[in-house]
Amino acid sequence: MINNTPEITQVTSETLQAKIRELLPSQQGFGNDLQASNVILPIIDLTATAEGSGLPVSMQQALAFGSQTAFDVSNTTTSIISGTGFWRVTCGLQTIYDAAGTQSVKFSMSDGLSTKDVYNWTNTSTVSAFGAQFLDFDKVFFLSSGDSLSITATTFGRATGSYRQIADVNGNLVNPSGYIST
């Protein structure tokens, strides 16, 4: 004999309840435990909408003409970002040498009191001959209040590319310029 009576069980998981409160802020004061049932129900995934974006991550973080700020750093140190939030930096790194020595491009973060090198690309030559190396760079950085991101390039080092904000300091996604959700 088949039992067609649905069974409902309380689910006591603080992790699951915390995620529900995070994704659905209007449910924070609801107070009841989660429940599970042995009845098969169709599911509609509203996760992307609940998180604030209907775009997949790869599309939400797209490079867009109106969103990008270009930079070209060579033979100097330049602060490229000082605003809070999550920032995608994409660029080409190059080092050229025609004598023995070291050329490099590095990314540093500062909180206003101290500085940390967070990425360093170095090319060292032990011979006196012409050479060049190139590297694609695509990273996401988080800056809180007072933080900044700088690029330092040696005499024959260069970073050329752009950056854009992909989320604010609270994690609210920033869609590409010109994108209109339907």
- The answer to whether the predicted template modeling score (pTM) of the entire model surpasses 0.75 is no
The reply to whether 62 falls in a domain is: yes
The reply to whether 101 falls in a domain is: yes
Q: What is the pLDDT of residues 53-99, one digit of tens each?
A: 567 888 999 999 999 999 999 999 999 999 999 999 999 999 987 76
Domain count, the chain: 2
Q: What is the CATH number of the domain that holds 133?
A: 2.60.120.1010
Same domain? For 63 and 36 the reply is no
Same domain? For 70 and 153 the reply is yes
> For residue 68, what is the DSSP state?
-
3 state SS for 106-150 = EEEEECCCCEEEEEEEEEEECCCCCEEEEEEEEEEEEECCCCEEE
Same domain? For 98 and 21 the reply is no
**Residue ranges making up the domain that contains 129:** 58-167
The total of other beta-carbon atoms located within 10 Å of residue 60's CB is 18
Spell out the residues 6+ positions from residue 138 whose beta carbon is closer than 8 angstroms to its own: 88, 89, 90
How far apart are the two ends of the chain, measured CA to CA in Å?
49
Q: What is the pLDDT of residues 107-162, one digit of tens each?
A: 999 999 999 999 999 888 776 667 788 999 999 999 999 999 999 999 999 999 99
The reply to whether 155 falls in a domain is: yes
Same domain? For 68 and 115 the reply is yes
